[in-house]
Structure 1
Amino acid sequence: MTVPLPPDGTFETDAATKALELRMAALRDAALAATSACAGLILLTTAENGPGHPLIALSADGPVDRALRDFCFAKDETGTDQTGAPPCKTGQITVEGVDYHLMALPLAGPTAAARGWFALAIEAPSNGLQQIIETCSHFARVAELTWDTHDGMENLAYEVVTLSSRAARLQRIAEIDPLTQLENSASFEDKVRRHLEDTPSEMAFVVLDIDHFKLINDLYGHQFGDIYLKTIARSLRTAFPEGSIIGRLGGDEFGVLTPVPAASRPYLEGLLTRCRSSIQRATALQGKPDLGKVSIGASQFPDHGTDYAVLYEHADAALYAAKASGRSVSAVFEPHHHARYNGTEFGNRFHAAVERGDIRPYFQPQVDVTDGKCLGFEILARWRRKSGHLLEPGDFAAIFRDHALAEKMTRTVMHSAFRIYARTIAPTGLPLRLALNVTFFDLMNPEFAFEVQQAVADTGFDWSLLTIEVTEQTMLGEPNGQVFRSLNELRRRGARVALDDFGTGYGGLRHLAAWPIDAIKIDKYFVDGLTSGPRDRAVFEALTGMCHRLGYSVVAEGIETSQQIAALRKHGCRFAQGYYFDRPLAEDELGSFRPRYDLP
């Protein structure tokens, strides 16, 4: 906005001066847009007017603008910059706790007595100041040319307007996600924050995640994945009402801030349902199966929070609650039901639990069903509450969405389990194995194998007795990536690798042949089918037969009945674990574990 200085009775702007003022205002606005300056000033004086009554004074009326004007009229004791031309006076000020760089370039007018300043205030940048000075110098030169020939400079005025338009267009390009043409993550956050500050009406903050997007990329290629993302982006524009802010937050996650009426819970639930339906209709035209499935979480302003971070956190918790309930559904945040999916809250409680020693390993026996011999234990994480109640991983799922918390969980459980093993199992002399569950974040850490090495060295554990368990979802990716390299390094040191919950993830069969795997763990879902009917038994037989032909040992999970044990023997599956043998053993129970189980 252009704010002139207070009017003076002896100073009157004629038509020519007014035209010059308009051109200078356009030039100043273009400079602000091109440099992201927070304040700009153009002062033009003549011999008739003098500094006290400038011919033109273009400036806003804020504290930074006033400081910028004083800076221009102050005596220059800083010298000039090193760019060569024109001289630039620079300085720094602090206003309301914010540091600003000031730069002012003198302007030469049409006559010797005509002088002026072209000045900008920039919020202190970490780099690029020299480039901004050069840009300011360019605009100062244009200002001089404009002033010198303003009576007939229509072409130059057009150039300035074009420059302003181009700067605005470039600014908008910087805010847009290039693939989907939605707001990018930074722009979305900025606009939502400003909207929440300026709008007292009720709003809904929506976070949407595409189900199994990695699988879709893996199956159909990244080019199709891009088309899929653009289709969903168009559906979001159609589904949400005018005035909504829609952005791509990254990868396959989208965010929406949308207006909702008062007492809006039923309206919001209906809106989310229509959104899912719109996406499914649009993606059905792409000719691929199982597209258009999305999980959605939402929070409400101001009921669930009044700022961006809190609303995002609560919508994200609702999103993961939706995923936990089976995916392809939507959920609105409910504090009492979704608290366990809140990463920040769980993070604070988790760190405290680690300090108290409440994160503990439990040990589930793995048994050879041919003779009942205990072969080792799978390490299971448990969180002991102050009441004595044990939380299982499904109860603290939020931990595994944060790389720092997930890695700390793995290391805490690993070190504790190795120490307990050294005290209770190692003295028996039995070569019992330990199976450690690791996350995608662990394997993406190039130092993970060395951290396991440190734990092995500290406790005297034997690498050859360690099994690393990973899920199919963790293995979604290309061979020779970091996950692949980490698994190879762990195997090189002597550990075995087991693919956990086989048959329930979304990896292709090609992973079985290409990835460094030694054992397959068949999920309880398939084990339960052993006694259900011939088709379920055929599926189990096909899975075990394929694994045996590939040279993998097979472990059946979730064994609960003697009939299942008989079926495992029939199909040649030797190894199993489940409550039929024992529940997971605590540290004080591990010392009295059974080396052999009586089996039917």
Structure 2
Amino acid sequence: MAPITLSAETTSQVFPFSILIEGDGRIAFVGPALAKVAGIETLIGKSIFDAVTIRKPMRLDRTQALRDVLGARVVLEVPDRNGSGTLKLYGMACSAEWHGRGHVLIVLTPGVNARQFVECHGLKISDFGPADGSADLLPLLAMQEDMLQDGKRQAAKLRAARDVAEHLANHDVLTELPNRRALMERLSSLLRQSPLAVMHVDLDKFKEINDTFGHAAGDAALQHAARAIRLAVGPQALCARMGGDEFVVVLEGEQTPVQLSACAQRIIAEVSRPFVFQAESLIVQASVGLAIPRPGDALSADDILHHADLALYEVKRTGRSTTALCTPDLLAAHSEFQRISADIRRALTEREFVAHFQPQVDARTGGLLGFEALARWQHPERGTLTPVHFLHVTHRAGLIQQVDAEIRRHVLDTLRHWDAAGFRVPKISLNVTTSDLLDPVFRQVLLWDLDSRGLDSSRVVLEIVESVLYDESPTEIAKACQDLADAGFVLALDDFGTGYASILSLVKLPIAIVKIDRAFACGVARSKSQHALTQSMVGMATSLGLTVLAEGVDHADDVAALLDMGCGSFQGYYFAHPMDAETALAWVIEREYPQESLRRRP
């Protein structure tokens, strides 16, 4: 290949990234663009082998000078004048005449690195040679860079959205505390690592605030409780909202019952501090169940939370705004509860719940007023059980309405059977719970049960315990009582004197019968104070036009004393024990009450 003849001007314009090398290997000329990025002082006059790094051809022999690179592809790395490393260029070597002498010309281009040269050293398109394809790449590279940056921005947005979604998935929006999902994951991990203790916090009076001041006030109460709990336990504890008005606190490390109880008391104290909502000073309180896993228990996260929940239930059962610790005795009691509740469910399917009947009589005439239906469980192994063996479990397990419905079915079937046999019992008394009164369909179901058996509602006395009058829903209770009275049912107030009913309650509610509790009736003839109290209750009820019935009467002298007070209706062992349906009917026949009071009138 014949050498090309070059001038400095031509070389600068056509080959701005070129290097001109003399025969002895020294650099005689550097193109202006290359001089900008590498610095002319670092190249001119120096040996090509010292000034740059030749990557291709590899293993170039200095003794061969540059003859071996003529016509070959060359890759060089030149020093960056900014001192930040080297710059890679690509090109080709050829023979050239410069001022009448032979030289080697290495024509270079940044290639795909053109954007780096532009951004880092301020080169412009005019700095590239007319035949340098690198310049043509610049718009494409710029577009590529824009796309890359846009991709990065989109990726950043996606990461941010993912982080937000992850935060929302693991945190309660209202309180910013970890939610149940996050708690379970963290608690499961902690149980495998170190000792810990768990506190289950439930807010007291929260429903009252929600119902009185609205849901916004309820939200404010939850936020207040979350802040109070975090303040009480410190930043190292794990606090989470389980949902509703329930929170869980996990403390890492060994905790004694005394230490844990002290921490729970701090929570109760902080939560109980008043908080302000719309210029109103409100107070919410807390109950706390405690659980400390014992070494070797091998409990899961669900297990330890269940233990804390059992302790919390114990607090709710015995009193609020305090603490209780889950103990082996409490676990054993719960196991017994589970066993009995499962047995009750089985008994409901087998129809083992029946009614026994205790007569209510008029001691002045000897006439039968009716029967009170009392629940009994005909257990296949334990015999006939009274409510003391199962009533507390039915309430706690939420089965009381099912058991009551089964008892009612048996009572009404028995009443229909007696009617069909020609014996018309005047009235039958059924116990009614708060759950029944708050059930919107209870009245309709009861009326349907009567209609389907051809029975009249006026023959049914519904006994309401005195404590029902002070339930958390007094307005609903009062309306339900009035609706039942309007439907023809007779309402009786049971256990009168043992609760908190007031004279005003007796006036406002459609009560027709007051039942003096056995605590006052039994032994009234032998106690002056008991006699005085009972006489005042009988006098108050009769002055209001109510029928008074004394229950739990076991002795003749008590009957006589109550008769003298003006109470003529009785129920108790003195007259008869509770009996099954067949025995009760036999008792009626044997007593030979006046037939006109028993036989069905045509």
Q: Please name the residue that 1:452 is paired with.
A: 446
Q: For 2:456 and 2:474, how far apart are their aligned partners in 1?
A: 28
Out of 253, 265, 268, which is 2:257 matched to?
268
- Residue 393 of structure 1 corresponds to which residue in structure 2? 387
Match of 2:188 among 197, 219, 223: 197
State how far apart, in whole Å, the 2-side matches of 1:426 and 1:409 are. 26
Matched, 1:576 2:576: no
**Structure 1 partner of 2:547:** 553
Q: Is the 8 A contact 2:359 2:578 kept in 1?
A: yes
Alpha-carbon distance change, 477 to 318 in structure 1, aligned in 2, over 3 angstroms: closer
Q: Which amino acid in the other structure matches residue 257 of structure 2?
A: L
Alignment correspondent of 1:434: 428
Look up the match of 1:358: 352
Superposed displacement of residue 336, structure 1: 3.2
Q: 1:282 to 1:479 in 2, by over 3 A?
A: closer
What does residue 520 of structure 1 align with? Answer: 514
Q: Could you list the runs of 5+ residues in structure 2 that have no partner in the other structure?
A: 1-111, 114-139, 276-282, 593-602
- The residue number in structure 2 matching 1:567 is 561
Query: Following TM superposition, by how much is the alpha carbon of 1:466 offset from its aligned partner in structure 2, in angstroms?
Result: 0.5
Q: Please say if residues 206 and 284 of structure 2, whose CA atoms lie closer than 8 Å, have aligned partners that are also in contact.
A: no
Name the CA distance, whole Å, in 1 between partners of 2:486 and 2:323.
43
Please tell me the residue identity of whatever aligns with 1:197: S
Is the Cα–Cα contact under 8 Å of residues 198 and 290 in structure 2 kept in the other structure? yes
Indicate if the aligned counterparts of 2:290 and 2:326 stay in contact, CA closer than 8 A.
yes
Residues 271 and 112 (structure 1), Cα distance of their counterparts in 2 relative to 1, 3 Å cut = closer
Residue 46 of structure 2 is matched in structure 1 by none
Q: What residue is the counterpart of 1:24 in the other structure?
A: none
Deviations 1:127-170 (A, max 9, x none): xxxxxxxxxxxxxxxx959959x9xxxxxx9x999999999998
Query: What letter corresponds to residue 441 of structure 1 in structure 2?
Result: S
Equivalent residues of 1:465, 1:495 under 8 A apart: yes
1:272 Cα shift? Answer: 4.4
Deviation digits for residues 161-207 of structure 1 (CA, Å, limit 9, x no counterpart): 99999999989994446xxx9x6xxx664354234311224555555
The counterpart of 2:410, out of the listed 394, 405, 416, is: 416
Question: For 1:210 and 1:113, how far apart are their aligned partners in 2?
Answer: 59
- CA separation in 2, counterparts of 1:357 and 1:323? 32
d(CA) in 2 for partners of 1:294 and 1:400?
23
Quote the residue 2:489 is aligned against: 495
Residue 498 of structure 1: CA displacement?
Answer: 1.9
Alignment equivalent of 1:339, drawn from 335, 338, 351: 335
Matches within 5 A, 1:184-333: 189-200=180-191, 201-203=194-196, 243=237, 245=239, 250=244, 254=246, 256-259=248-251, 267-268=256-257, 271-272=260-261, 275=264, 298=290, 301=293, 306-307=299-300, 330=324, 332-333=326-327
**Separation (CA, whole Å) in 1 of partners of 2:575 and 2:196:** 53
- The SS at the match of 1:450 is helix
Matches of 1:528 and 1:596, distance apart in 2: 26
| Aligned-partner Cα distance in 2 for 1:274–1:147 | 47
Q: 1:587, CA displacement in angstroms?
A: 3.1
Shift of 1:415: 0.7
8 Å CA contact 1:298, 1:315 repeated in 2: yes
- Equivalent residue pairs, number: 436
The residue type paired with residue 334 of structure 2 is: H
What secondary structure does 2:536 align onto?
helix
3-state SS of paired residue (1:570): helix
Q: Distance in 2 between matches of 1:270 and 1:579?
A: 53
- CA radius of gyration, larger in: 2
Q: 1:573 to 1:597 in 2, by over 3 A?
A: farther
Partner Cα distance (1:369, 1:230) in 2: 62
User: CA separation of 1:247/1:169 partners in 2, compared to 1, >3 Å: closer, same or farther?
Assistant: closer
Q: Is the 8 A contact 2:496 2:514 kept in 1?
A: yes
Instruction: Output the CA distance in 2 between the equivalents of 1:304 and 1:394.
Output: 34
Cα distance, 1:465 vs. partner? 0.9
Kept after mapping to 2: 8 A contact 1:205/1:255: no
In structure 2, the residue matched to 1:585 is 579
Report the secondary structure of 2:462's partner residue.
strand
> What secondary structure is seen at the aligned counterpart in 1 of 2:545?
coil
**CA offsets per residue over residues 271-306 of structure 1, 9 Å max, x none?**
4488569858997999xxxx9998765555478884
Distance 1:207 1:501, change over 3 A: farther
Structure 1 residues 545, 357: CA separation in 2 closer, same or farther (over 3 Å shift)?
same
Q: For residue 381 of structure 1, report the CA deviation from its aligned partner.
A: 1.9
State the one-letter code of the partner of 2:583: E
**Given residue 556 of structure 2, which amino acid in structure 1 is its aligned partner?**
S
> Which amino acid is the alignment partner of residue 443 of structure 2?
A
CA distance in 2, matches of 1:222, 1:500: 34
Cα separation, partners in 2 of 1:402 and 1:569, compared to 1, 3 Å:
same
- SS of 2:371's equivalent in the other structure is strand
Alpha-carbon distance, 1:309 to partner: 5.5
Deviation digits for residues 412-459 of structure 1, max 9, x if unmatched? 111111112222466343333211122222222222222112221333
Deviates more, 1:485-494 or 1:412-421: 485-494
Show the counterpart of 2:278: none
Aligned to 1:462: 456
What residue in structure 1 maps to residue 480 of structure 2? 486
1:407 matched to 2:401? The reply is yes
Q: How far apart are 1:548 and its partner, in Å?
A: 2.6
- Counterpart CA distance in 2 for 1:471 and 1:441 is 12
Aligned residue for 1:378, secondary structure, equals strand
Distance change (3 Å), C-alpha of 1:373 and 1:205: farther
3-state SS, counterpart of residue 589 of structure 1: helix
Contact 2:351 2:406 in 1 (8 A): no
Decide whether the 8 Å contact of 1:420 with 1:587 is kept in 2: yes
Give the structure-1-normalised TM-score: 0.57
- 1:483-526 per-residue CA deviation (whole Å, 9 max, x = no partner) reads 44433332222111223233444556543333332223333334
Aligned-partner residue type, residue 395 of structure 2: F
Deviation at 1:339, TM superposition (A): 3.4
Q: For residue 348 of structure 1, report the CA deviation from its aligned partner.
A: 3.4
Structure 2 vs 1, CA of residues 147 and 232 (structure 1 numbering), >3 Å: closer, same or farther? Answer: closer
Contact 2:525 2:558 in 1 (8 A): yes
Q: Deviations over 1:104-125 (max 9, x none)?
A: xxxxx996546869xxxxxxxx
Secondary structure, aligned partner of 1:418: helix
Identity of aligned residues (%): 24
**Mapping for residues 141-156 of structure 1, pairs under 5 Å:** 147=153
d(CA) in 2 for partners of 1:533, 1:294:
44
2:375 to 364, 377, 381: 381
In structure 2, relative to structure 1, the CA distance for the partners of 1:597 and 1:308 (3 Å cut) is farther
Quote the RMSD (CA, aligned, Å). Answer: 5.1
